[in-house]
Structure 1
């Protein structure tokens, strides 16, 4: 059975996450900053009356900081604990991948953070993002305090 992944781009590198975790993808909207939030948080957006934290994926992957653009995309997804929005330069595709095309992260480098594995494609590699390990426990707690949900 094939797994489905949504593919997004940051600085020319392709990343993916399980399609089943994604609610929707939208064009960039205004993000309201929160002064007491952890550094990984860009701010929050209002989605149909729900306040959703916006995560700085670029910072998590040690990519250079850049200003947000109207052409950027927000990927609304669910972790085991909360809904989040991730900023991507672009969302390019949904791919199906069989188990033999996947390489688990531990087969490459033990203890690789935030990456679940790699998809081998004819045109290169796609890093599979592990959304459930994206926020540390301290960041989760800081986020809860900033959002008033603790």
Structure 2
């Protein structure tokens, strides 16, 4: 009996300090190797700066800082994930992208059922070799951080 494709979801999996996180594949535009990030004055603390993606200015987020992980120097092997939120395209600086996985929706537990106080995690994928935290891009910035970022981006584009 064929499996209904609606019962499956695809995720881009990335690592931070050997911990696995994921984004919905439908939100990801592309993955690139580390590039120079231009600092952005008056941006929220989790914003490393900005990069240009095909002529669009995109904020780059320090995911380590958001998840309260230890900071480390950027490496040439690091990668940047360009993804879309409801409001904007963002770039996430990560250690490495390990690939795309397809997962039965039944193997995903909603974060509120496991980690009710975790604002940036949408769910947990149960795989044979461990767990993967599904990242909620739309909850990544608070409203104050969104306003601060918008102001910093506007100021950077003023003459």
Name the TM tier (shorter chain). Answer: over 0.9
For residues 85-130 of structure 1, give each alpha carbon's deviation from its aligned partner in whole angstroms, at most 9, with x where no partner exists: 0011000010111111011111113232100010000110000000
Alpha-carbon distance in 1 for matches of 2:117, 2:123: 12
Query: Which 4+ residue blocks in structure 1 deviate beyond 6 angstroms?
Result: none
Q: TM-score when scaled to structure 2?
A: 0.91
2:26 corresponding residue in structure 1: 20
**SS of residue in 2 equivalent to 1:148:** helix
Displacement of 1:47: 1.2
Query: Which is higher, the Rg of structure 1 or of structure 2?
Result: 2
Structure ranking higher in helix proportion: 2
Q: 1:87 aligns with which of 93, 103, 116?
A: 93
Alpha-carbon distance in 2 for matches of 1:116, 1:95: 17
**SS of residue in 2 equivalent to 1:135:** coil
1:77 aligned to 2:80?
Answer: no
Q: 2:48 aligns with which of 42, 45, 69?
A: 42
**SS of residue in 2 equivalent to 1:91:** strand
Calculate the aligned-residue CA RMSD, in Å. 0.9
Alpha-carbon distance in 2 for matches of 1:106, 1:144: 30
**Structure 2 residues not aligned, in runs of 5+:** 1-6
Alpha-carbon distance in 2 for matches of 1:129, 1:4: 13
Q: TM-score when scaled to structure 1?
A: 0.97
Output aligned runs, 1:101-140, within 5 Å: 101-140=107-146
94-103 vs 17-26, which moves further: 94-103
**Structure 1 residues not aligned, in runs of 5+:** none
